[in-house]
Amino acid sequence: MTATRIHREVKPYLIGYSICVLIASGLFFWYTTPWYYPLAWFSAQVSLLLFTLYFFRYRDAALPEEFSSQSLLSPADGHVVALEPSLHEDLDALRLSIYLHGTDTHLIRIPCSGKVVNVTYHPGKHLVAFNPKSSLLNERLEVGIEHANGKIVTLTLVAGLLARRIKPYIKVGQEVHAGEELGYILLGSRVDMDIPNSFQPSVELNQEVFSSESILGDWS
């Protein structure tokens, strides 16, 4: 695996954190309080800062040597929780879902090179992300990528119970390459992939996968 870095999405949170610390420092300075009040507050803030930095960590893309133009990379860190027919009855496709725990990195990457043909945002509920119904009912972002073989892979970035923000980095018509950044989901969530049925998965249920490093399978 490559070296771990801190993603740029952390900047607004660090700015907010700094403002809170400055305001609280002023209050503790001007008003006399028992010594353990500021100690407890600053301890909590340090813990929050460390978790925030940990949450926004990520690695540079590291495509495996065996990756080919007919392969699909994992777009996310997490565990495979579904390998079944697509929930969309009009699609002859395999549904492959990856659940991201709160401790997984939440930077989503492009699974294959191609052209972005669809970016659609759907407002919705915030059910827990491991609930199968969350794929159709939760707030989500659908991204369609047309592969060079003409097949379209649809990724659905699903917000979870605590996730309130999905930020895409791509747009319709854009040419993308495997391993590039697709978007970011904040807190627990999942990524669903609808893949045309000629695809042969090489992963199993509950298997841990890593963004841009794990191969999900190949087209036959």
At 70, is the secondary structure helix, strand, or coil?
A: coil
DSSP string, 131-184: STTHHHHB-EEEEEEEETTS-EEEEEEEE-SS---EEE---TT-EE-TTSEEEE
Give tens-digit pLDDT for 66-99.
Answer: 899 899 999 999 999 999 998 877 788 999 999 9
Angle formed by the axes of helices 11-30 and 36-55, nearest 10°: 180
pLDDT at 155 over 90: yes
Q: Give how far Cα 177 sits from Cα of 73, 146, 152, 208, Å.
A: 11, 11, 14, 23
Rounded Cα distance, 107 and 109, in Å: 7
Could you name the CATH architecture of 64-219?
Distorted Sandwich (2.70)
Contacts of 44 (CB under 8 A, 6+ apart): none
pTM of the model: 0.83
Catalytic residues: 189
Q: How much is the mean pLDDT over the chain?
A: 85
pLDDT at 110 over 60: yes
Rounded Cα distance, 153 and 73, in Å: 12
Q: What are residue 33's phi and psi, to 5 degrees? A: -135, 155
pLDDT at 23 over 60: yes
CB of 110 closer than 8 Å to CB of 145: yes
Rounded Cα distance, 105 and 85, in Å: 27
